[in-house]
Structure 1
């Protein structure tokens, strides 16, 4: 394992962040999106890699078979705001992409997204995941990712999640901020992790329709097979096993990918207090989630 410094959380314009994502801020805000760029936006651990991989296969599988076996997903779909010492920044990686459209991922809350994406009317795919599964996944991720803050024990982590003291801020603000944007910005497709698990084929069709891609049933079926959780978990180009900041001995980057696994982590008391808090936080939105399917 390479040695990385676990960062401290700090308040950045009202959102909890770490310096790994704010260091390059001026360049980030001035980022020049191209009109055909496609942005994958999510709260961390909501299906980002899954959606990135699906998009990459939709656009490039036919053109370049070698890409699939030789290029890790984080090089194909760069992480826009990432800035880690001794590595190219996310922006540099995006700007050196040889293929178009450029597929770009971000975890930024809506108010931090560079203006050029809106000015160029770029297509954006947002994936949201129910809060309970998202919290559990984030906890195990923070245990194994050395450039994330120390998660401590599950109970204190859950409290921090409820308070929004997470990297990229509050889950509640994130999912509702993007949901509100969808009402006024037609080039935003808002998708749910749970729908993708329940019927990957149907959601693939929805995605292709949004992107204006005419894919055959066979192509979509082939992609659906390649992006099933077990296939991706076993694929070194998709499972982050080549990323030096992650310690897979602690927990795999791709852990379970299930809906409802929160039941194995939450105690009855935690679940009751979470539900009460959730109801209060979500009372003013039309956004609804499934916690089991």
Structure 2
């Protein structure tokens, strides 16, 4: 199945306040159906703030469950169809809810960027497993900035300094980064079925993190198999792979910036000025003072 064709006249959306966070219509137009979504007990929800390693973890999960069983999916079905984006609603394309409802796989792998308080209730009621990935704020803001530059269903980001201020004020699509990562971290204290992963840990030792993931999922995957998956999910391999690099989805102008740009830890140092870094650190300390969550900005 090839990628989709988009309607001609798509224009960049304006942000608006929605349920207490900044949103755009492409993620709220199907809201009633998103909220009513019926999760099944064996569904696995992949939850992240945008640009925190969502596609990476989605692909690892897909390989763990279906890499051997259905190898042809790996070369013919793009990742965004294998792991539907639940709240995505683009005119004339199937909605994320429709794609998730039609998934032929068990378990169903479903992705969301919704903050914890907006995740459809049935995921909690069915005690679904949730895999959350957090990425340090500095690399996350850099990645999100380049993503918004090339993605026409996101607002115009402005220049880097403007964007950094926007990020600190929390006026990004899907709301403040701080609330997102801390919200799922807090939820983990009362809901045992969350596996909370850190992007930096994955970059540092992908094999170890895949092993931890298998243990959370109760999968007895052999060491050889895990090694194969770790190699297949290497950033450079995924960047070349048309089924994982989003080159078949025409809402993104990959000439401006590739969907999979660098996948590194510490790229923020190429973007932040000394003054921006000091201002950001100060703000970060205030915003994160009540959480035990610790993220590394270098490894």
* TM-score relative to the length of structure 1: 0.99
Note the 1:125-164 alignment, pairs <5 A.
125-164=131-170
Mapped to 2, the partners of 1:145 and 1:114 lie a distance apart of: 26
Q: Who is 1:72 aligned against? A: 78
Mapped to 2, the partners of 1:271 and 1:178 lie a distance apart of: 26
Note the 1:31-46 alignment, pairs <5 A.
31-46=37-52
Deviation, structure 1 residue 260? 0.3
Mapped to 1, the partners of 2:262 and 2:149 lie a distance apart of: 15
Mapped to 2, the partners of 1:166 and 1:31 lie a distance apart of: 25
Aligned match of 1:235 in 229, 232, 241?
241
Where does structure 1 differ by over 3 angstroms across 4 or more consecutive aligned residues?
A: none
Mapped to 1, the partners of 2:65 and 2:35 lie a distance apart of: 27
Residue 291 of structure 1: SS of its match in structure 2?
coil
Residue 127 of structure 1: SS of its match in structure 2?
strand
Residue 71 of structure 2: SS of its match in structure 1?
coil
Mapped to 2, the partners of 1:99 and 1:176 lie a distance apart of: 31
Q: Who is 1:185 aligned against? A: 191
CA shift digits 1:66-103 (9 cap, x unpaired) = 00000100000000000010000000000111111000
Deviation, structure 1 residue 209? 0.2
Mapped to 1, the partners of 2:204 and 2:197 lie a distance apart of: 12
Residue 126 of structure 1: SS of its match in structure 2?
strand
Deviation, structure 1 residue 232? 0.4
Q: Who is 2:118 aligned against? A: 112
Mapped to 1, the partners of 2:236 and 2:123 lie a distance apart of: 33
Deviation, structure 1 residue 13? 1.4
Q: Who is 2:226 aligned against? A: 220
Mapped to 2, the partners of 1:188 and 1:17 lie a distance apart of: 25
Q: In the alignment, is residue 13 of structure 1 matched against residue 10 of structure 2?
A: no
Unmatched segments (≥5 aa) in structure 1: none
Residue 93 of structure 1: SS of its match in structure 2?
helix
Mapped to 2, the partners of 1:42 and 1:76 lie a distance apart of: 17
Unmatched segments (≥5 aa) in structure 2: none
Deviation, structure 1 residue 22? 0.8
CA shift digits 1:164-214 (9 cap, x unpaired) = 000000000000000000000000000000000000000000000000000
Q: How many residues align?
A: 293
Residue 232 of structure 1: SS of its match in structure 2?
helix
Deviation, structure 1 residue 250? 0.4
Q: Who is 1:265 aligned against? A: 271
Aligned match of 2:205 in 193, 199, 204?
199
What's the Cα RMSD here?
0.8
Deviation, structure 1 residue 44? 0.2
Mapped to 1, the partners of 2:55 and 2:289 lie a distance apart of: 30
Q: In the alignment, is residue 244 of structure 1 matched against residue 242 of structure 2?
A: no
CA shift digits 1:111-150 (9 cap, x unpaired) = 0000000000000000000000000000000001010000
Residue 190 of structure 2: SS of its match in structure 1?
coil
Residue 181 of structure 2: SS of its match in structure 1?
helix
Residue 155 of structure 1: SS of its match in structure 2?
helix
* TM-score relative to the length of structure 2: 0.97
Mapped to 2, the partners of 1:153 and 1:201 lie a distance apart of: 37
Mapped to 1, the partners of 2:283 and 2:132 lie a distance apart of: 24
